[in-house]
Amino acid sequence: MDTILRLAIQKSGRLSEDSIKLINECGIEFSNGGGKLKSTSTNFPVEFLFLRDDDIPGYVSDGVADIGIIGENVSVETQKKVNTVHRLGFSKCRLSIGVPKDFHYEGPQSLTGKKIATSYPNILNDFLHEHNIHATIHEISGSVEIAPGIGLADAICDIVSSGSTLISNGLKEVETVFRSEAILIANENLSAAKNKILHDLLFRIDAVKRAKNTKYILLNAPNESIDKIIALLPGVKSPTIMPLAKEGWSSLHSVVKENEFWQVIESLKAHGAEGILVIPIEKIIQ
């Protein structure tokens, strides 16, 4: 039987959607409809396991899955022995302290002697220990934000994205405990064959990530301005320059980060650039 890499991803939710989008952008085809818990790619040696997010680190540590895509907060909280092989850059969030709006907060020491409700006792305990704070951790699962309102705790420590959930429960965010994003984890004892497949997968992921927020730019410019425009748009190595039918003009093709392009657009126009086209890039191979 040919070697196959088993990849665990969250079976539902935003992280699942972002993970599947990345896999699709890597050109890997598979079916995940109909509530399937397992699926095999038709064009890449990988099998997908759709699991609860907090089960994934354990499955990878035990070797049931070879690799997994998981929020870094979950990986750190579960304290399973796995290797973090890639930071994926999506599904970013933060684990923060929230207190009632009328709580007079003057820094972490304000939590001394308080009861803090959380679903992340290990990460919270590390934070409290780091700041030499003696507080009581009340571990609960789900609906953490309601704890202060029903007298269960004085504060909470929970995942925050926009902060709207805190506000709707009469809380304010006062301290960031941990910043998280999606990561790719792997079993510590992958075989050479499975490591080869993982390397091929990482190659595809890197190509997709390089293309994010990177654009292919085409413009026409007078020849006397080419050197100045090249200094503004150096490209991956150097731009492609082709003469136009109009004498004294050339077409310049380059690659640029989108935010950098907006910073230099006026300078490009000042040097005579015309007919500027900005085109998305799917992959960048280096």
Domain 93-179 sits in CATH at: 3.40.190.10
- pLDDT over threshold 50, residue 92: yes
- pLDDT over threshold 60, residue 1: no
What is the model's pLDDT at position 33? 65
What's the whole-number mean pLDDT along residues 210-215?
83
Which residue ranges make up each domain of the chain?
Answer: 5-91+181-210, 93-179, 214-280
Residue pLDDT, tens place only, 154-187:
999 999 877 788 888 899 999 999 999 999 999 9
Report the b/e string of 127-137 with b at 16+ CB within 10 A.
bbeeeebebeb
Domain 214-280 sits in CATH at: 3.30.70.120
Assign a CATH topology to domain 5-91+181-210.
D-Maltodextrin-Binding Protein; domain 2 (3.40.190)
Residue pLDDT, tens place only, 108-133:
999 999 999 999 999 999 999 999 99
User: pTM (2 decimals)?
Assistant: 0.83
Same fold, 93-179 and 214-280: no
Looking at 80-84, 182-186, 265-269, which range is the least confident one? 265-269
